[in-house]
Structure formats: C-alpha cells, structure tokens
Amino acid sequence: MPLAQSKNTVGLGRAILNRRAKEAKQRNQTEFHTTDLNNYGSVSNLRSVTHEGDLEEFLNTASLADADFTAERRSGGVTVITAPDRERTRHNPYLLTGQEEQEVLKKHVQNKERLRVPRRPEWTSATTRAQLERAEKDGFLDWRRGLAELQEGVGLVLTPFERNLEVWRQLWRVIERSHLVVQIVDARNPLRFRCEDLEKYVASLGIGSTNGIEYLDDTSEHKGPRTNLLLINKADLLDDQQRKYWADYFDAQGIQYAFFSAANAAAIQLARAEHEERLPPN
C-alpha cells in the first residue's frame, strides 16, 4: 500500500522558492555580483564546508594565499605536526569546572567583537576583477587567521563555521543586491539563532550598484539603504503571552520582526482547498 502523501504544500521554504521562481527574470548582471563557475572549477566549489582536517586546512590556506609548496612522500605516509597546546582546545567544553566556565564566559565577552561575519572588501567601478578577487582572498585569510588565534591563543572552542570562500561570496553579493535581508529564527529560542553581527554588516553597507560598494562607519549620519527583518518561525509553538513578551523585548531593542507559522498557513490553505472541492462545478 503506497504511503500517504502530505497535504502540506505551504511552508516558509516553499514560499521562498515559489517567489523566487516567479521573479526569475534576466537582469543586467555585472562580474562583481556573479560567480563564473568555469573560472572557479565547478559547482562543487559552492558546497558548504564547516570542518577541515589539518591537511585539508593547510592545503586550502595555501591555495587561498597562492603559495607554492612541495609535498615530500615518505615511507610512513603523510605526517601532520600539531602544536602541543592545540590539543587543549579539543577537549569537551561541557566538562568545565565552575571557575573554568566563568573564565570562558569572560573570554567570550572580551572577544565578542572578533567573532564577526567576514566582510567583502570595498570596491569601485575602477576595481578590476583580479584585484577584487585577490582582495577577497586576502581579507578571508585574515578572518581565518583571527579565528585560529582565538582558538589557539585565547583558547576558545568555536562551533563549526563556514570555511568555503565561495559560499561567503554568494552571501556578500546577495546582500549587496538586496533591499531587505531576513533572518529566520526558531520561536522557541530566537536569540540562539539570531546573528547580530550580520545585522551590523547589512546596516553598514552603503549604496551598492555597478559603481561599487563602501561601508558606513558608526559616526556616519546616514544609514544604509538595506533593512533587517527577524522572521520568528514556528510561532504557533508559543502562546499569546509568550509572543507578547518577545514582541515587547524586540520593540525595546529596536528590532524589526514578524511572527510566522507554516502550520497555520498550511491549515488555512487546506481548509480553502476543501471548501473549493465542495463548491458545485460551474
């Protein structure tokens, strides 16, 4: 007996895909907002990479830096030498004593500004593609080195993060061409999934066009033209009082937000479809 198919044809992801399909029109593109897949190898370059072994990390870093190196094959195979103090960053972070936990939390607060979304370098209409690509690689390497210093020097244990430059390039270009940037978070713990630095990044971008992009500093009287929106998904899992508490908090913080429930939207569509089925044919 075949399995029953779900009648849930409404969801946030499906709505985004449908919207994207409707607006999939050819627009004037520039080489600053597109990725030439042939130039970078293949579509596989756009895969997400959140973990690398020591050898992979070394090879990828050398590739980004355009460094030349020679591999020497020995009878024992490939040997990766790891600094002794690096092992201490691999221990289970949940086995901390109370004092150690306080020290770690203190380090998190002290280094919060260093845990940032990598920024795309500024560019103008006079910037060549080769210059921009080189600047992107250099900036990304500096960002990776900063995170490595936090791990090995400060002793922080970082959660998995995106290590593929091509994925970050897609984010940069999408943000530059967007008017509204939406972060989708789980209503059961919105702050857990919210990225404050992404909001700062979006707000700091000046007017983006084919003429270039620049960043606005904190002292600038003007704000960027892009808007941030926090979309609180699965809002049906909260009761009215909980939603009110969160609404009061976001209002006090000056955060633009909206509650969304895919389950409620699916129920509405299903009821509408059943009503239409009961209508007599014309």
DSSP letters spanning the chain = -PPPPP-----HHHHHHHHHHHT-------TTS---HHHHS-GGGGS------HHHHHHHHHHHTT--------TT-------GGGGGGGS-GGG--HHHHHHHHHHHHHTGGGS-PPPPPPEETT--HHHHHHHHHHHHHHHHHHHHHIIIII---PPP----HHHHHHHHHHHHT-SEEEEEEETTSHHHH--HHHHHHHHHB---BTTEE-B--TT-SS--S-EEEEEEE-GGGS-HHHHHHHHHHHHHHT--EEE--HHHHHHHHHHHHHHHHHSPP-
pLDDT tens digits for 18-75? Answer: 776 776 654 444 555 555 544 544 555 777 777 777 667 767 776 777 666 555 555 5
Q: What is the pLDDT of residue 144?
A: 93
Q: What is the pLDDT of residue 218?
A: 65
Q: What is the pLDDT of residue 270?
A: 82
Given a cut of 50, the residues of the chain with pLDDT beneath it are 26-29, 37-38, 40-41, 83, 86-87, 89
Q: What is the pLDDT of residue 41?
A: 43
Q: What is the pLDDT of residue 37?
A: 47
